[in-house]
Amino acid sequence: MEYFFVLYILSGLIKGFLNFFNIPTFIDFTMLTGFIVTMGLFFRVLTHNIFSFDKTSFILLAFFLLFYVWINLTLMYSVSQHYSYQKSLLFLTNLISIIIPLFYKSFQIKKFLKLFALLTPILGVIFLMIFPSVIYKSTDEAQALQSLYLSLPQLCGLCLLLLFLIHDLFPLAVHYLLIIINALVIILSGARGPLVFLILVFIFYFFIRGMVPSHHLSQNITIRKQINLLRFFKILIISGAVVALTVLLVSYVPNMEKVFARSQDRMESLFDFATSGTGDASAEERILRLRYAFDRIAENFRATMVGYGLGSYGIMFEGIDERSYPHNIILEIWFETGLIGVLAFMPFFVFVVYASRHSISDNPIAWCSLFLFLNFMKSGSLVDLRIFFCFLVIMVLLSRKQYAKEMPNYNVALPIRTQES
């Protein structure tokens, strides 16, 4: 089950590679893998009675369905006549990300995380092997691969954070190799958001771990200083290895210097935009979309409260009844479903935090979820939240298992591998 579930979670990414290599699937890969894991759960329940349903699962599912009911009610007044119904159907793909971990009693968190953290950097290596040769091409196949330059680094950033926080997924050599590969993908892809948000999460993490007492870290000041020093040297060594490998790749791999130059230009243009407010077309486009959403939300009381209807952003902003969004998940919900939609969306996340309240700073998936949230405040649409919902549910499950001492309380970021209790 976990194997197919990982394929489902990564299906959007995998489709980009399938399109590039012209590999036919005859049915949408997300729908195919979603059907497989759903039927797998159904037959496992029938044959082995491994269905898990408790109060927490019921509340999470109820909050999700509450929001889904509301967004479907907005279809009655949506200015989108076609994409709105497609978006409603696509949003249901997020439901599978919730149902499988919650209701599959034998779902193995560690197995899922291990498969996810292994497959994603493998796709990253394939991407780095192909990307230099198609970076400036305009064919359909090339554009299919180019479209992954943001989503793949986001997932690689998630894997890097996951590997930094949990040390017993792989043997030590493989563990550090995967961290380095993920870092290389982030740097060479030119995806600025995942890199910036990864740094922010690490800064916040070290601040919290340094300032807030933990039940699972020694309260002895000397020992805690030694731990922090070891963390620093670990990051320093990994950073040095990434820099050295980047230099080697740029020097000896054909066309890789173009990839690196592109990444460098994108970082410089972002810095110029941050200091002068101009010079970055991508950032300017995102600001334009955000301003448009803000302006239309504040246009009148009705727009503020109930929005313009599901799927309406594309036809209102671009004049085309197709997928389009303001690149901020909260603004997208507010624009299309109103403040009522935002208020219907929030209880799910509030309850996740409440259900994970037992030493939440020690929960590695909590930090991964924060990283994903920051990314979705910059990129992605309401129908792209499969990985986010999946990690939120796993965050609850891991907190429950840690509290019941069924899994280790990960002494996160230590340079030694944590053994299971």
Instruction: Give the pLDDT band of residue 416 (cuts 50, 70, 90).
Output: very low
What would the pLDDT profile of 316-343 be if each residue is shown by its tens digit?
998 888 988 898 999 999 999 999 999 9
CA-nearest of 406, 326, 387 to 151 is 387
Q: Which of 88-92, 135-139, 153-157, 358-362 has the lowest mean pLDDT?
A: 135-139
Residue 418 has pLDDT above 70, yes or no: no
Taking residues 204-232, report their average pLDDT.
61
- CA dist., res. 208 & res. 133, Å (int): 43
Q: At what angle do helices 55-73 and 329-355 cross, to 10 degrees?
A: 160
List Cα–Cα distances, 413 to 162, 165, 204, 233, 370, in angstroms. 10, 5, 13, 12, 16
Say what the pLDDT of residue 94 is: 93
Residue 361 has pLDDT above 90, yes or no: no
Residue 197 has pLDDT above 60, yes or no: yes
- CA dist., res. 72 & res. 348, Å (int): 17
CA-nearest of 53, 178, 189, 65 to 114 is 178
Residues 146-182 as b/e (b if ≥16 CB within 10 A, e otherwise) read: bebbbbbbbbbbbbbbbbbbbbbbbeeeebbebbbbb
Count the Cβ atoms, other than its own, within 10 Å of residue 381: 18
Say what the pLDDT of residue 115 is: 93
Say what the pLDDT of residue 36 is: 87
Burial class from Cβ neighbours inside 10 Å (0-12, 13-18, 19+) for residue 109 reads middle
Say what the pLDDT of residue 217 is: 47
Taking residues 186-206, report their average pLDDT.
86
Q: What is the mean pLDDT of the chain?
A: 82
Residue 107 has pLDDT above 70, yes or no: yes
3-state secondary structure of 368: helix
Instruction: Give the pLDDT band of residue 227 (cuts 50, 70, 90).
Output: low
